Each structure stands twice: as C-alpha cells, then as structure tokens.
C-alpha cells in the first residue's frame, strides 16, 4: 500500500503496525477495536468475524474486521488461546478535543506466555508464574499461582 495515497488514519495505523508487526493490532476507533489488512483476515478466520472493507481515500479497499470494546475481552482470550500475540492500541486523547487524527498508542501486548488479566486466565486450571535466581552456591525458585494466589519459594 502506498502511504502517499492513504488517508491520515490509515497512515497512523501503518506507523503503529510497523512497530508491532508480530502481533494482531486491536486499533481503537470509538466503541470498536478494528483490525486491518492481514490482521483482519487472520482474526476473521480465528474468531468467525465478518470480513468487510474500508475505503482508503481513493486507494484499494482495505480488509477490515472489528469487535465491540465491551466484548473485547472474550475475543482477546480466544486469540491468545489460539497462540496469537495481540497489541491493544488505545485512543490517548479525547476525540472531541483532537485537532486532526486522534492520538493513539499501544498500551499493552498480550501473549500466550504473558496473559495475566483475570478474564484471560483459565480459572479451571492453575496459572503459574515462575522465576529462577541462580547464584554460585544456590538456586532460588519462586512460583505463584495467579488463579489462587498461592506462593511457593524454594532455595536449593
């Protein structure tokens, strides 16, 4: 896609996506998180979403899929369970006060190995977070179950 022929919004999207290429980008637009291009195609297959398109200022149509902000937790959980990495891009200024395009930035990246939010954890299983600290003479191991709050510490 030529950035010269893109709308300012799609230019902003591409700039943010370029910094998060290995993740599906949930791009906040009002009451929805929208995904574009390959992210939209992947998410539509993985989540059973309708794949549609968005006008890109005279350029080719851009593939689009979206989810309501209120339901995003369930969609995030499903993507992470399928092994996807997801970056959440929020509007960081009030759209009513914005001069031009609303400022946005990625505020969180969720991966299968780093999904700590209660709505992303499987409550029917243990969800451990472990740390290992080796020294010349000993090894310290700490383990916390994020589901129950149980904590264990072992020094060998």
Tell which residue, 104, 110, 105, 106, has the closest CA to residue 75.
110
Examine the pLDDT at 32 and tell me if it is beyond 70.
yes
Using an 8 Å Cβ cutoff, are 106 and 88 in contact?
Answer: yes
pLDDT band at 128 (very low <50, low <70, confident <90, very high): confident
Mean of the pLDDT values across residues 77-100? 92
- Delineate the domains of the chain, giving CATH numbers in brackets: 3-120 (3.40.1170.10), 121-156 (no CATH)
DSSP state of 102: P
pLDDT band at 1 (very low <50, low <70, confident <90, very high): very low
What is the C-alpha end-to-end distance of the chain, expressed in Å? 56
pLDDT averaged over the chain? Answer: 88
Q: Which of the pair, 119 or 28, is modelled with greater confidence?
A: 28
Examine the pLDDT at 38 and tell me if it is beyond 80.
yes
For the entire predicted model, the pTM comes to: 0.75
Distance (Å) of CA 91 to CA 11, 127, 153: 15, 31, 41
Helices (H), 19-136: 37-47, 72-81
Using an 8 Å Cβ cutoff, are 87 and 25 in contact?
Answer: yes
């Amino acid at each position: 896609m030529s950035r010269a022929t893109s709308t300012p919004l799609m230019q902003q999207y591409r700039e943010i996506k370029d910094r998060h290429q290995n993740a599906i980008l949930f791009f906040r637009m009002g009451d929805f998180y929208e995904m574009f291009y390959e992210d939209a195609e992947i998410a539509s297959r993985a989540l059973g979403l309708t794949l549609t398109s968005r006008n890109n200022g005279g350029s080719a149509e851009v593939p689009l899929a979206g989810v309501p902000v209120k339901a995003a937790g369930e969609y995030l959980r499903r993507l992470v369970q399928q092994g996807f990495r997801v970056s959440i891009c929020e509007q960081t200024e009030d759209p009513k006060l914005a001069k031009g395009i609303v400022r946005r930035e990625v505020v969180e990246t969720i991966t299968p190995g780093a999904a700590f939010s209660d709505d992303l954890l499987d409550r029917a299983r243990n969800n451990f977070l472990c740390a290992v600290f080796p020294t010349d003479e000993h090894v310290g191991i700490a383990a916390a179950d994020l589901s129950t709050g149980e904590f264990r510490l072992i020094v060998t």
